[in-house]
Amino acid sequence: MLQINDVEFSYGGSQAVAGCTFDVPDRKVTGLIGPNGAGKSTLMEMIAGGLSPSSGRIVFDGTEIQGLGRIRVARLGIIRTFQTPRELTRLPVMENLVFAAPRQIGEGPLQSVFGRRRWAAQERELRHKAESLLEWVGLTRLREEPAGSLSGGQRRLLEIARAMMAEPKLLLLDEPSAGVFPAVRKLIAQRIREMVDQGITVLVVAHNMAFLSDVADDVVVMAQGKVLRRGSLSEVRADESVVAAYLGGGHVGGTS
Amino acid sequence: MIYFIADLLALGAINAIMAVGLNLQYGQAGILNFTYYTFVAIGAYVGAVTTMGHPPVPASEETFILQWSLPWPVALVLAGVVAGVLGLFMVLVVIRRLRSDYLAIVTVSLGFIVWDLITNYVPLFNGANGLFNIPYILNGATASETTYTMEVFGVAMVVLAACIWVVRSIFRSPYGRVLRAIREDEVVAASFGKSTTSSRVWAFVLGCVMAGLAGALLVFYVNAWNPQGFLAEESFILMAAIVIGGPGNYWGAVLGTFVFVEVLSEVERYLPNFGNGALVGAGRAVLIGIVLIAVVRFRPDGLIPERWLHWYRSPLRGGPGGEAGSQPQGGRRGRLGMPRLGQRGES
């Protein structure tokens, strides 16, 4: 589904990603872990089109996508969530969802004024779909509230629902469980598994091992801009080099 | 007295067209345009030079380009088109590279460039002296002042209605939603595959077209135009009207202009002059500042917040897209009782 091929990226003098190679198998959840500064977020940003790698290739479904930019990457079906949730704070929760639907009629100025009949029908369908997604993440009650008034956990759930609204093929989740209440974390994990059952491929950055053991089929460990190890979570946790990579070594687990 | 009211209404309607256009740019698309009135001026000049014909020689020494005498509706449309094209040109130059605050600075300087050009290049629009004897529209040449004012008010209301219809359609459409999404967070909008640049460009251009229309109507009404008519201050007053009325809400823009621009321009005559006539203008500026600060402090979303438009659309009201009978549990109380945006707690 997604191949990352010897990708490099530097911020000024410091090399954040230094020749990273792995692939994300179809219809699986791949976890991406590693100590702070390992280059995980930079790599995610490059896949999402926000940064262009200085060298290397990123191939999605047979197309090279490095340097395409956010908009075109998103249109190929790669949808992401953000490390700190970024919802459209002053818009109602409902609008936050409906906005995300891809290829809407009436997104151009002329159609919006003169093609009302066409987009009005589509609008009803999208709202219907958004309703069911809100129910799926348990936010139905808040649908007319401005998204900025939601709590941290609710924002995470909204981001997941919004990503689903966009009909992704590949979903990039950047720490979807950070800073949320354990019960909500369980819910998020469960929803991610359900997405995979619907045929979506997921790449997830996470620090919380309990969460990862719930969701990830496979884990890639990054350290200092390179892939250190790949395998199931238990294999990876048993690996000494991985343990050493986390600052001061010691215990890989712990809470986020 | 009737003339006084008619004058207020006519100017109010014309200003409201400007406010609706600027609100599309600022309130919906989030483009901070501090030189909106420049596009009003361009519309005014185009409206003037396409209807004035040749100046009566030798009584007048006016020099200006075109010297056409088109029928006024054609001139009106042309004014909108020219303002829109210049807006397109300007926005294409600046919008790709600049984000909100820098863009705002550039708009201010572009406004000064245009102002200086028009003032100093006399053959263009007769420089600092400006244009006089711009023809009346309709039967203005023979009708009484009051009648003419009422007629202009009528025409302006028709144009205003058309503009409101356009921005209302945009607000409710997927396009409007994309604009608001870009306003809230451009990175998010791009991350969902929305065309951020072209969406903003067209919103800007449409806003400029409305400025041009308003400018032409204004010049048909006041029959004279010179660079003193479009000082930078005017753009700020319009911006203030929108912030007070409710950015993003087109009714807020209309209310903001009628209440704020109109009342405050009339209040001048009641302000004390402290023995110096020049202080009256300053007093007005101070008053505008005070009102603005009060609104931003106590009603940060403006007098009619944008969310009221969402409320009208909500299923409760059976608006477009809402399914009748599926009532949200939060209901009306939840929406109106929400925390103020200026003070919302980030958790």
d(CA B44, CA A105): 36
Do A183 and A135 share a structural domain?
Answer: no
Hey, are the CB atoms on A107 and B194 less than 8 Å from each other? yes
Indicate whether A177 belongs to any domain.
Answer: yes
Co-location of A231 and A111 in the same domain: no
B142 versus A200: the higher-pLDDT residue is A200
A-interface mutation test, from B91, B96, B191, most A Cβ less than 10 A away? B191
Q: What pLDDT, on the 0 to 100 scale, is given for residue A71?
A: 95
Q: Determine, yes or no, domain membership for A4.
A: no
In angstroms, the CA A217 to CA A189 distance is 12
Quick one: tokens of A256?
A: 């986020």
Answer whether A76's CB lies under 8 Å from A171's CB.
no
Residues 129 through 168 of chain A touching chain B, CB cutoff 8 Å: 131, 140-146, 148-149, 151-152, 162, 166
Q: Is residue A8 part of a domain?
A: no
Asked if the Cβ–Cβ distance from A123 to B174 is below 8 Å, we say yes
| Distance separating alpha carbons of residues A224 and A37, to the nearest angstrom | 7
**Chain B partners of A50 at a C-beta cutoff of 8 Å?**
187, 191
Q: What is the pLDDT at residue B311?
A: 59
Q: Which of residues 78-117 of A touch B (CB under 8 A)?
A: 79-80, 82, 86-92, 95, 98-100, 102, 104-109, 111-113, 116
Choose the mutation target among A41, A70, A78, A105 for the interface with B, i.e. most B CBs under 10 Å: A70
For B11-52, what is each residue's pLDDT tens digit? 999 999 999 999 999 999 989 888 999 999 999 999 999 998
> Quick one: how far is CA A6 from the chain centroid?
21
State how far the Cα of A166 lies from the Cα of A74, in Å rounded to an integer. Answer: 9
CATH code of residue A77: 3.40.50.300
Please give the structure tokens belonging to residue B9. Answer: 């209404």
- Which residues in chain B touch residue A140, judged by CB atoms under 8 angstroms apart? 329
Mark whether A78 and A94 lie in a shared domain: no
Distance CA A54, CA B54 (A): 63
Q: Which residues of B touch A89 (CB under 8 A)?
A: 184, 341, 344
- What the block records as the tokens of A69 is 């930019």
* Calpha distance B44→B64 (Å, rounded): 13
Residue in A with minimal Cα distance to B174: A107
Query: What residues form DSSP beta bridges with A79?
Result: A171
- A5 found inside a domain: no
Whether A58 is covered by a domain: the verdict is no
Q: Which residue of A has its CA nearest to B314?
A: A144
Cα distance between residue B208 and residue B42, in whole Å:
10
Pairing status of strand A2-11 against strand A63-64: unpaired
Contact A112 B173 (CB under 8 A): yes
Q: Are B323 and A127 within 8 A, CB to CB?
A: yes
Q: What value does the mean pLDDT take over residues B273-283?
A: 73
In this structure, the answer to whether residues A177 and A239 fall within a common structural domain is yes
Rounded to an integer, what distance in angstroms lies between the CA atom of residue A170 and that of residue A172? 7
- The reply to whether residue A92 touches residue B330, judged by beta carbons under 8 angstroms, is no
Any domain includes A75:
yes
Domain count, chain A: 2
pLDDT value at position A156?
93
Contact B339 A119 (CB under 8 A): no
Please provide the average confidence, as pLDDT, over all residues in chain B.
83
What's the pLDDT score for residue B134?
A: 86
C-alpha distance from B329 to closest chain A C-alpha (Å): 6
Of B176, B196, B323, the CB nearest to A112: B176
**Which residue of B177, B194, B347 is in closest CB contact with A98?**
B177
The reported pLDDT for the residue numbered A247 is 54
How many Å apart are CA A214 and CA A208, to the nearest integer? 10
The reply to whether A256 falls in a domain is no
> HSE of B244 in the Cβ direction (CA atoms, 13 Å)?
23
Weakest-pLDDT range from A198-202, A228-232, B55-59, B75-79: B55-59
State the nearest Cα–Cα gap between A2 and chain B, in angstroms. 18
Is A146 within 8 Å of B341 when comparing Cβ atoms?
Answer: yes
Q: Which of B175, B321, B323 sits opposite A120 (nearest CB)?
A: B321
Confidence of residue B346 (pLDDT cuts 50, 70, 90): very low
Reported as a single tens digit per residue, the pLDDT across B314-337 is 444 444 443 333 334 333 333 333
Which residue among B191, B307, B326 sits closest to A146, beta carbon to beta carbon? Answer: B307
Distance from CA of A162 to the nearest CA of B (A): 9
Please indicate if any CB of chain B lies within 8 Å of the CB of A51.
no
Task: Kindly tell me if the per-residue pLDDT of B158 is higher than 90.
Answer: yes
Do A124 and A224 fall within a single domain? no
Measured torsion, CA atoms of residues B157, B162, B163, B165, in degrees rounded to the nearest 10 = 120
Taking residue B272's Cβ as centre, other Cβ atoms within 10 Å add up to 8
A196/A175 same-domain check? yes
A81: distance to nearest CA of chain B, Å? 9
What is the per-residue pLDDT for A49?
95
Bridge partner list, A220: A32, A230
Same domain, A175 and A216: yes
**Which chain B residues are closer than 8 Å to A151 by Cβ?**
347
What is the interface size between A and B, counted as CB pairs within 8 Å? 141
Residue among B166, B180, B188 with most chain A CBs within 10 A, to mutate: B188
User: What is the Cα–Cα distance from B78 to B70, expressed in whole angstroms?
Assistant: 10
Q: What percent of chain B has pLDDT over 90?
A: 44
Which of B1, B8, B22 lies closest to B252, judged by CA? B22
- Same domain as A100, residue A77: no
> Could you tell me if residue A62 is inside a domain?
no
Whether B161 shows a pLDDT value over 90: the answer reads: yes
Do residues A93 and A79 both lie within one domain? no
Q: Are residues A76 and A183 in the same domain?
A: yes
Question: Taking CB atoms and an 8 Å cutoff, what residues of chain A touch B174?
Answer: 99, 104-107, 112, 119, 122-123
Residue B117 has pLDDT above 90, yes or no: yes
Task: Looking at the structure, tell me whether residues A235 and A120 fall in a common domain.
Answer: no
Q: Which chain A residues touch B327 with a CB distance below 8 Å?
A: none
CA B164, B169, B174, B178: dihedral to nearest 10 degrees?
Answer: -10
Per-residue pLDDT of chain A (256 residues; tens, 9 = 90+): 899 999 999 988 888 999 999 999 999 999 999 988 889 999 999 999 999 999 999 999 999 999 999 999 999 999 999 999 999 999 999 999 999 999 999 999 998 999 888 899 999 999 999 999 999 999 999 988 999 999 989 999 999 999 999 999 999 999 998 888 899 999 999 999 999 999 999 999 998 888 999 999 999 999 989 999 999 998 988 888 888 887 554 444 444 4
Confidence (pLDDT) at B342: 37
pLDDT digits over B178-194, tens only? Answer: 999 999 999 999 999 99
pLDDT digits (tens, 9 = 90+) for B210-240: 999 999 999 999 998 989 888 888 888 899 8
Question: Residue B273 has what pLDDT?
Answer: 67
- Select the residue of B192, B335, B338 nearest A74 (Cβ to Cβ): B192
So what's the pLDDT on residue B57?
58
Chain B residues within an 8 Å CB radius of A141: 328-330
Question: Any alpha helices (H) in A11-92, and if so which ranges?
Answer: 40-48, 70-75
Same domain, A198 and A77: yes
Q: Which domain holds residue A124?
A: 88-149
